Amino acid sequence: RIANVDEFVQGFPEKYDTIVGERGVKLSGGQRQRVAIARAILADPRVLILDEATSSLDSESEQMIQEGLRKLRAGRTTFVIAHRLSTITSADQILVLEHGEIVERGNHTELLAQNGRYRDLYTRQHRLEDDRFINPGEDPIPTTEADLKAEAVKGASRAGRGG
C-alpha cells in the first residue's frame, strides 16, 4: 500500500497472483515503477539509490510514485539521480552536476535563492510543464541533458542570441 500498488492490483482478475510477464511487460510504466518501489520497501535497504525514478511518467503516475518515494526514503540514506527536478525538491541536499563537476549544492530553497543553474533548470522545466497544458501534443518536459541543452539553444535563438 505504501507504494500505491494495491490500487491497480485489485483490478486484476487474479489480484496479486496475476502473471505480468517478463520484466512486467503487461504493466504501464507507472505501474512498473510502483512495483519496483514496493520491492525496495520489502528489501528494506539502509542505502537506497534511485536512478531517474520518475523520468518517463505522466503527472498522475508521478504523483503516486512521489508519495511512495517519500515514504520509502524515510529513515534511510537515499541517493536520487534525476533530470526531472520535481523528484528532488524535498531532498535534504541537492548536488547540481555539469560535465561531471559539482557546480551548486544546497536544498531546493537554497538553490532557488542562489539564482544559478538549478534555478534556471527548475524554472525552465516548470514553464515547459505549464506549456504542455497550453500546447497539447508538443514534447513535454525535457528529461535528459541533451533535451535541456536543445531547449536552451531554442530559447537563445528566440531571444536573438544565436544558437
CA of 74: how far to CAs of 20, 46, 64, 84, 163, in Å?
Answer: 29, 10, 16, 21, 44
Fold of the 1-81 domain: Rossmann fold (3.40.50)
Residues 78-119 pLDDT 10s = 888 877 787 788 888 999 998 999 999 999 999 999 989 999
pTM of the model: 0.59
Distance separating alpha carbons of residues 34 and 117, to the nearest angstrom: 31
Residues 6+ apart with CB under 8 A from 106: 93, 94, 114
Residues 26-74 pLDDT 10s = 777 777 777 777 787 788 888 888 877 666 566 666 777 777 677 777 7
Q: What is the per-residue pLDDT for 85? A: 82
Q: What is the per-residue pLDDT for 135? A: 47
Q: What secondary structure letter does DSSP report for 77? A: E
Compute how many other C-beta atoms are within 10 angstroms of the C-beta atom of residue 53.
24
For residue 118, give the H/E element and its range. helix 117-134
Whether residue 142 is predicted with pLDDT greater than 60 in this model: the reply is: no
Q: What is the per-residue pLDDT for 102? A: 94
